[in-house]
Amino acid sequence: MVEINLHNSRTRKKEPFAPIDASDVRIYVCGPTVYDRAHLGNARPVVVFDLLYRLMRHVYGEEHVTYVRNFTDVDDRINATALARREAGAEGSLEELIAERSEETIRWYHEDMDALGALRPAIKGDQSRAEPRATQYIGQMIEMIEGLIASGHAYAAEGHVLFSVESYEDYGALSGRLVEDMIAGARVEVAPYKRNPMDFVLWKPSTDELPGWDSPWGRGRPGWHIECSAMSYELLGESFDIHGGGIDLQFPHHENEIAQSCCAHPKADFARVWMHNEMLQVEGKKMSKSLGNFFTVRDLLDQAVSGEVMRYVFMLTHYRSPMDWTEKKRNDAQKELGKWHRMKGDNQPGEVPQEILAALADDLNTPRAITELRRLADIGDIPGLLAGLELLGLKTVSSDMLDLLQAADREKLGELAESLAAARAAAMESKDFSKVDELKNALIAAGVEVRMSKAEIELLPGPGFDAAKLEGLE
């Protein structure tokens, strides 16, 4: 079996991966808070852990891998969005507007991540429970909080329940922070009911209007961190193999998850391996609305940037390195993917080349895998190239070759289709089809598939498409 090595954020080193149970490799990844569309930075962990999921399925078998990714559907930002809709005149109760917004955002998320070629999470092939929503597990969260209070790791105060950081001696091990240093530089709410400034909320009060659930501490709703602890426990058990997410979640979210879960189940490991992807920039700068470089996945899709191109640009940079999205990378990706797709012809994928599998097994080394794809293309190993693309989730993302063309090339094909239609209309009158044949033959020589019907003329790039040969045609 292929040996997989993964960088464990907790031990800060690359380690051989040995699953707890090879018949059920278990992965949990923190999913989105469903209040708005996913931006490009949100998409990076989706692609990273989709690659991990694909690798594990390839090595251990589809039915032997469990991948869970949650939806946070109880959050102040969701509430604020629903309140804004009501103030704008939307009909329905606040609860109905919140539910409507959550459903809408989850649908958007699925559409956009599907476009990136990301597989839906599944529990041994079953997708029905693999995307839990926080609101479906409130009872389990309350039960876990009660257990933490009973064991002395949490306390109730003024309608809140807080986790006592001092009760867990390993707090800070994941992020490498000392509690004393964190307290000294704390930028957290120092509420009067907190025993320690670093203590964090497990449960908080809720008004009658906002979403809330009855609990031993009054009507309220869970804190963010307890959600993932409760859902991962219910679906993956006390110990599971891998927990993933963006580096921005390492502290405090993942640190707090570890504290809660290890105190709730002190004989278990919680997650054995922690994986974090680095952040994304745009043209060398942090993505920001104020800088005008903030965009969602849907923004790019609407600009005819295919999901396959986005996915490919992500993979040009190793997941543990900061990534810079640039127009040059985007354009180069379109050209390279277009070239590879045009090489397909009648070929079918062969066996996955060992070099590509080895690259992924080496802590998801996608830059090395892409170097191997280029080598396969250069030597004409098309079945190997196609198999590699398929394993990387690139083969089936874009079925329309036009998605992978440069905008100028698409425009040129559109102009030539109009020219061919005009030439055909003139030929129908003059009965001289020489110009039609001349233009059609030139297009075919450039690798363009010419589809002519009575209603329309369609020009599509074929396996041997060469945009340079379109120059001079009109």
User: Which helix (H) or strand (E) is 241 found in, with range?
Assistant: strand 239-246
Residue 430: CA atoms inside 13 Å, Cβ hemisphere, count?
Answer: 11
Q: Is 158 annotated as a binding residue?
A: no
253 is in an annotated binding site: yes
Whether the CB-CB separation of 372 and 358 falls below 8 Å is answered with no
Provide the 8-state DSSP code for 418: H
Give CA–CA dist 127/146, Å, rounded.
30
Region of residue 183 (left: phi > 0; alpha: psi -120 to 50; beta: else): alpha
What's the DSSP call for residue 459? E
Q: Which residue in 291, 277, 284, 282 sits closest to 248, CA to CA?
A: 277
Residue 257 marked ligand-binding: yes
Residue found under tokens 């999913």: 31
Tracing tokens 């954020």 back to the chain, one arrives at 9
DSSP state of 166: G
Q: Tokens in use for 214?
A: 């009855």
228 is in an annotated binding site: yes
Ramachandran region, residue 265 (left: φ > 0; alpha: ψ -120 to 50; beta: rest): beta
Is 262 part of any known ligand binding site? no
Residues with Cβ within 8 Å of 377's Cβ and at least 6 positions away in sequence, in order, are 339, 340, 343, 385
Tokens 């307290």 locate to 183
Known binding-site residue numbers for ATP: 289
Known binding-site residue numbers: 30, 228, 253, 257, 289
Known binding-site residue numbers for Zn(2+): 30, 228, 253, 257
